[in-house]
Structure 1
């Protein structure tokens, strides 16, 4: 959740053979001595600005957010993700803290101070403990589309695959020093908001606008920006925003999710062009499948949202891979994605790494190792002065 939103332009899908893509990543700041969350995000953001990077504040004072530029290719995006992580980590170090890519704080209290921004103060006043306990970090993928009407239809096609993306991205098993026994504790915490989780099926952009306006009128949201569904049309940009994923341990993991997210949107656009309607899967089925993915992660059980049949998460991801194969073939990315998913089916994701590591070392060492994984070692050589691709 960024307190500010981008007004920069983003390329539409018709300016290239494949849609444009951008990513926002949310991070926890931690103290390298106590390894507790650090509440210096305003100072870190100010230092980042001096380093030539626009680092956004998040709802909690222990969080910051990076926004990538609009990218034409995944290779370009990956380079930006690496560079932004390195710059954000440098800004954190200059303020005596470290950057940590986990979906929920590994240690610390249950509540945190709200960031000093008018919108966040208003959220704190309206939502109390719900806002104060909202120190969770996601990876949000923006993919270019023509307009809101197209975005709504794309969301209808993509929503069925949200449980698969959540299982793959789960990176928040350890929270406040304990094993929650949920692969994505972030997803469980996030579901407490009145407009979160998988979205309903919307018949049109007007239908979407009507539902959002009704929720604002009811007082459960401050405005349309608080429609926190796991996939949604962007409020200010011609993009579809996929929001279901935990922030990833590494930039390569984030690039993998972006690749799949863009392929899902490209596949949906192809279906729309051919007049194929999205399957109107019940919201109850999607919520059930999402909950199971949050519990089990990539190495566990999943639920087929269509049949509610129990299948493995790896089988669900295999079906996803088949679904988007033509789009991945078009960009030459199928082989690398297939290899990465095969590896994940053996080694697991971020949550599995957290569980294994906590069994081997103390909590402090777990946090130290997670910090090391967050920031790439190799140097990046590019300018990140560009309009951000994302908003919230």
Structure 2
């Protein structure tokens, strides 16, 4: 096993993007989750120019990964291409693909751990939590040129974790019950001991020393063991944002990627002061607020010693990022998020409204599969 303290950061082009989507596999018979990922992948043939399709921790999940791209339009084409292949292949097997951060009515004890050494290790270490981890997220990678930049951007992004949560929230239902949360998914992630905010380390050398300590103490074998909200990914040369629910559409996924890219450009260009230790005092509270109340959350500002309405702060931020969106060619995607924040009509609202209209969770899930199958408008 290579000592983590010897890790090197592989530079990448600044602001390059990559997106991972964890997707639900549901039966066309009853729209419950179905344990089909291994069989599907064994028979799946696809053009890998759009990216990769992979197993996730349980057999009712499947993950798609875009290629590293310079712009959001290319990310959208990748996700569209992967989605189309999966929708077509799954339909031939009486299965549908669905977005959303949780399945509305599945029972975690019925899930089966996927084959593979990594998944077996997680099951052995975390017990029942590994099956409860049948929740679905979007991870966004942003390229940076150095390890020091990666650590700085990790800390800078942490201030905006609640904003990503509110924009992506799509998991109001859990165990056939309205959880009262906009994002119930992140409660499952928070159960893991290495979740939460990254520690206050100053630079890449300090980070590798910290990781070496964790490895020596048996806490973490690799960076994969860290379920931080935002973490560096040295082999890719990126910073990875991990708090988003999987959206109900490819459009929303590309909008979130645009937000991450614009925010990274703004932060790296302006280099505002960051206060990781101060943010750590309120990080769990602020994430809870966003999960519970979405755009209506009240965020604790430890520097200003005040409460900041998340929805108002987000609209100001999106306005600030407009020049970055123009420079990056993603103004339309950012405007989509601005409309979302103004109207406060995100995916969680759509799920609740649709559930009330159709009257049951099976037809709700069917409607969500139909929404995810729609071609992107960008």
Normalised to the residue count of structure 2, the TM-score between the two structures is 0.89
Higher mean C-alpha deviation, range 316-325 or range 164-173 = 316-325
Name the SS of the counterpart of 1:240 in structure 2.
Answer: strand
Say which is worse superposed, 247-256 or 203-212, in terms of deviation.
203-212
2:329 aligned with 1:328 = no
Instruction: Report the 3-state secondary structure (helix = DSSP H, G, I; strand = E; otherwise coil) of the residue aligned with 2:239.
Output: strand
Is the Cα contact below 8 Å between 1:230 and 1:244 reproduced in 2?
Answer: yes
Q: Among residues 317, 334, 353, which one is paired with 2:350 in the alignment?
A: 353
**Given the alignment of the two structures, is residue 131 of structure 1 paired with residue 130 of structure 2, yes or no?**
yes
Change (3 A) 1:160 1:128: same
**Deviation of 1:378 (Å):** 6.8
TM-aligned CA deviation for residue 192 of structure 1: 0.8
Give the gaps of 5 or more residues in structure 2: 1-9
Q: Which residue of 2 aligns with 1:168?
A: 167
For the pair 1:29 / 2:11, whether they are aligned, the reply is no
Match of 1:297 among 294, 297, 302: 294
User: What is the match of residue 84 of structure 2?
Assistant: 86
Report what 1:76 is aligned to: 74
Partner residue, 2:228: 229
- Cα distance, 1:155 vs structure 2: 1.0
Matched, 1:60 2:58: yes
> Number of residues paired by the alignment?
362
Q: Displacement, 1:234?
A: 0.7
Superposition pairs of residues 1-392 of structure 1, within 5 angstroms: 11-13=12-14, 19-48=15-44, 50-53=45-48, 54-111=52-109, 112-272=111-271, 276-280=272-276, 281-298=278-295, 300-306=296-302, 307=304, 309-334=306-331, 336-361=333-358, 362-377=360-375
| Alpha carbons 1:224, 1:235 under 8 Å: kept | no
- Seen in structure 2, the aligned counterparts of structure 1 residues 67 and 335 have a Cα distance that, compared at 3 Å, is closer
Residues of 2 paired with 1:97 and 1:202: CA distance? 45
CA distance in 2, matches of 1:52, 1:336: 26
Could you tell which deviates more after superposition, 364-373 or 218-227? Answer: 218-227
Q: 1:85 Cα deviation (Å)?
A: 1.1
Which SS does the other structure have where 1:104 is aligned?
Answer: coil
Counterparts of 1:203 and 1:304 in 2: how far apart (Å)? Answer: 24
| Mapped contact 1:35–1:107 kept (Cα < 8 A) | no
Is 2:25–2:33's contact at 8 Å kept on the other side of the alignment? Answer: yes
| 3-state SS, counterpart of residue 30 of structure 1 | strand
Secondary structure of residue in 1 paired with 2:139: strand
What is the root-mean-square deviation of aligned Cα atoms in Å? 2.2
Q: Name whichever of 23-32 and 101-110 sits farther off.
A: 101-110
Contact preservation (8 Å) 1:183, 1:294: yes
In the aligned structure 1, how far is the partner of 2:230 from the partner of 2:204? Answer: 14
Report the 3-state secondary structure (helix = DSSP H, G, I; strand = E; otherwise coil) of the residue aligned with 1:199: coil
- Deviation string 1:141-186 (CA, Å, 9 cap, x unpaired) is 1111112221111111111111111111111111221111111111
Shift in Å, 1:225:
1.2
Q: Which runs of 5+ in 1 are unaligned?
A: 1-8, 14-18, 381-392
SS for the counterpart of 2:113 is coil
Q: CA deviation at 1:83?
A: 1.3
CA contact (8 A) 2:98 2:368 kept: yes
Could you tell me whether the CA contact under 8 Å between 1:82 and 1:375 is conserved in 2?
no
Shift in CA distance, 378/288, structure 1 to aligned 2, threshold 3 Å: closer
| 2:4 alignment counterpart | none
Give the deviation of 1:348 after TM superposition: 1.5
Of the structure 1 ranges 60-69 and 302-311, higher mean CA displacement relative to structure 2 is found in 302-311
Alpha-carbon distance in 2 for matches of 1:333, 1:57 = 31
Which one has more relative contact order, counting CA pairs under 8 Å at least 6 apart?
A: 1
Q: TM-score, normalised by structure 1?
A: 0.86
* Structure 2: distance between partners of 1:344 and 1:244: 18
What does residue 3 of structure 2 align with? none
C-alpha separation between the residues in 2 aligned to 1:91 and 1:226?
Answer: 32
**In 1, are the aligned partners of 2:139 and 2:241 still within 8 Å (CA)?**
yes
Once residues 337 and 152 of structure 2 are traced to their aligned partners in structure 1, the CA distance between those partners, rounded to angstroms, is 29
Whether contact under 8 Å (2:98, 2:369) holds in the other structure is: yes
Contact 1:216 1:224 in 2 (8 A): no
What secondary structure, in the 3-state scheme, does the structure 2 residue paired with 1:249 have?
coil
How far apart are 1:254 and its partner, in Å? 0.5
